[in-house]
Amino acid sequence: MFLKFQPLIYSVFFLLSLEVVVLKENWIETVAGFLIFLTILIVWPLTRKPRFIALPLFLSLGALALLSLIDNNVERHIFIILTSGIYYLTLMGGYRLRFYASDQTALGMVNLATLCTAFMWFTAALGFYLNYQVQYWAIILFIITIFLMALPSFCINAKDAQDRFKKKGFKIIKTKFIGIIFLNLILAFLMSQLLWGILTWPFGYLTLGGSALIIFYELWDVIRLHLRNELTLKKVFLNGVIGIILLTGILLTAQWEIIPRF
């Protein structure tokens, strides 16, 4: 079933928490603490797997940070509704994978939630860097968050691939958890370095966040396909072409902002 009471009611709590910030902006720290509490003490028992804490946690904090950068109230409410939908898919995906590790629908939910969380986190981080004084050591925190955001999707994709091949009677070399961590660290390091390059581009934080998401997806998808034993040169080439087209389209249609950034 697509609807479950627990994920739905937790998503309603999430939606109401963000709406509180719209009404009382000075409550943002209190709401952040509540969302952390909600994730660790309430959401985690729903999935029963520690690695699934990262997605709803960073989705919550990323949404809260990005919400504070939106000025228009109508846009804020639309953003809250969309984000709450993604939050529900995150919880629902983790909940379904708890009972059946090869649930393809749940796998898609977690993959989508990973990309949405990455977009919110990238955009919020870039927005804060461009609008407020942020220390350079924040790059270390950025590396950690990218690592934790991508880890759940890599783990479940590797597990799904192993289960599928095992059912078909094929022999497959099991991907060790340390190998997944190593690949995830490479992704986090590459994205953290590319972020500094993106910051020199003369665009607003939404354009930069979208560009960062496209680059993140290209790298993330290569690792995902590798873990699923589906990586081919053709797929990498096609993804690269699509990524270049999307990135070019975003940059050509964006408004330029020639301002000093460092």
> Where is pLDDT greater, at 85 or 163?
85
Give the span between the Cα atoms of 118 and 150, in whole angstroms: 9
Q: What is the mean pLDDT of residues 171-198?
A: 81
Q: How many CB atoms lie within 10 A of CB 132?
A: 8
- Residue 68 predicted with pLDDT over 70: yes
159-168, 194-203, 216-225 — most confident range: 216-225
SS3 4: coil
44-83 exposure pattern, b = at least 16 Cβ within 10 A, e = fewer: bebbeeebbbbbbbbbbbbbbbbbbbbeeeeebeebbeeb
| Residue 220 pLDDT | 93
The alpha carbon torsion through 70, 76, 79, 84 (nearest 10 deg) reads 120
Q: How confident is the model at residue 240 (pLDDT cuts 50, 70, 90)?
A: very high
SS3 241: helix
Q: How confident is the model at residue 86 (pLDDT cuts 50, 70, 90)?
A: very high
Dmax (CA) of the chain:
59
One-letter amino acid of 209: G
Question: Using only C-alpha atoms, what is the Rg of the chain?
Answer: 19
153-162, 174-183, 234-243 — most confident range: 234-243
| Residue 105 pLDDT | 85
SS3 196: helix
| Residue 256 pLDDT | 75
Q: Where are the domains of the chain?
A: 1-99
Q: What is the DSSP letter of 260?
A: -
HSE-CB of 245 using CA atoms within 13 angstroms: 6
- The model's pTM is 0.85
Return the closest-CA partner of residue 90 out of 61, 111, 67, 119: 111
Q: Reduced to 3 DSSP states, what percent helix, strand and coil does the chain have, rounded to the nearest 5? A: 80, 0, 20
Dump pLDDT digits (tens) for 109-166. Answer: 888 989 998 898 888 888 887 777 666 666 667 767 888 888 888 888 888 877 777 7
Q: Are 15 and 86 in contact (CB under 8 A)?
A: no
Give the span between the Cα atoms of 43 and 52, in whole angstroms: 9
Least confident of 27-41, 58-72, 141-155: 141-155
